[in-house]
Structures are given as structure tokens and as C-alpha cells.
Amino acid sequence: MTALEQYHKKIAEAATQDMILNMGPQHPSTHGVLRLELITDGEIVKEVIPHAGYLHRCFEKHAENLTYQQTIPFTDRMDYLASMNNSHVWVMGVERMLGIDKDIPKRVEYIRVLVCELNRIASHLISIGTYGIDIGAFTPFLWCFRDREHIIGYAGMGFGLTHAVQLYLDWRPIFRPSCWF
């Protein structure tokens, strides 16, 4: 049985007195990337069906009237903690559609992957730090943000912005730290 069939079965088996509620992505605790479907019996939550990776932000409608280059800032804002990863996927997809993916130097591919991995680690540090606050520990939050700032500074993403738009279709990051070359 596929996951979609299991989902439809769970919804169909919900009793008539059960209520199916959506929590997220508008809920403040989900940050727009998670939708939870709650099956409740009164005030008791009987089951939770998570829909992870819920990123619909009208991106498709915006992109209809923009060039490939102009769409990149929207990919950054789909997930504000790992924005470079979304840009990387978009740029790779556009380059493949244009048939220029074979022309990209290996060095540039390595730099892109390195920046994305550093961005991923930095986003995990935010997750760990904010989890520390959730359980009542403030010091891990400070440590994690300190280490995240080191990563962002080293990766050349530190423009004083939340979204570091670096990956473009001209095969180079906009800003390249001199320590990389």
C-alpha cells in the first residue's frame, strides 16, 4: 500500500465525531515548512499526520513573469535557514534545461556543494540552539549561534542579510571569499 493510499485510508476511517484540523503552515511554531493534520476527538489528539517540506509560497505564480535570474531570490526565501540549498537546486535545474550543465567547471560545482553543506550545518545549528531554548537551556543557543556566525563568515555568506543570494547562472557565486582562491 502506498503512502497516499495509507493517508486516504486514515482519513476515511476517522469516526464521525472526530474532527480533522490543519495546523500549519501558518502556525508560528512550524515556520512555514511543516503542515500537521490532526485527527481529534474533542480536545484529545488521536493522530497526527505530518506533511513535511510544505513550502508553497506562491513561488510558481511569481516565477511565471520573471527570468531565470530574477527567480533566484524567491528560491532563497522558500527556506530562510538553508536558502543556498534551494538556490543550488534551482540553478542546477535551469542549467540542465538550458543544456549548459556540462559546461560548468568542476571547481564551481565543488564550491557550490561546499557552500550548501556549510549552509546546511549552519541551519542545523539554529535548530539545535532553538531546541535548547525550548527545553530551558540558554547557553547552547548562544554557542550554536556563535558557531553559525563563524560558518557564515567563512562561507562568504555574511552580507548582513538573512538571505545570501550567491548562486547565479553565470557559473560563479556573486561574492567569493579570497581564501577560496
The string of pLDDT tens digits covering residues 78-137 is 777 777 888 888 888 888 998 988 888 888 888 788 888 888 898 899 889 988 888 889
What's the chain's average pLDDT?
A: 77
> How far, in Å, CA of 12 to CA of 24, rounded?
21
Structural domains of the chain, count: 2
- 126 and 46 share one domain: no
- 153 and 109 share one domain: yes
pLDDT given for residue 119 in this prediction: 85
Nearest to 95 by CA among 72, 76, 68, 117: 68
Q: Chain centroid to CA 38: how far?
A: 23
In this prediction, residue 180 has a pLDDT band, given cuts at 50, 70 and 90, of low
Angle at 55 between CA 63 and CA 35, to 5 degrees: 155
- Out of 3-7, 165-169, 176-180, give the one with best mean pLDDT: 3-7
- 34 and 89 share one domain: no
Instruction: For residue 65, give Cα distances in angstroms to 50, 55, 91, 163.
Output: 33, 20, 17, 22
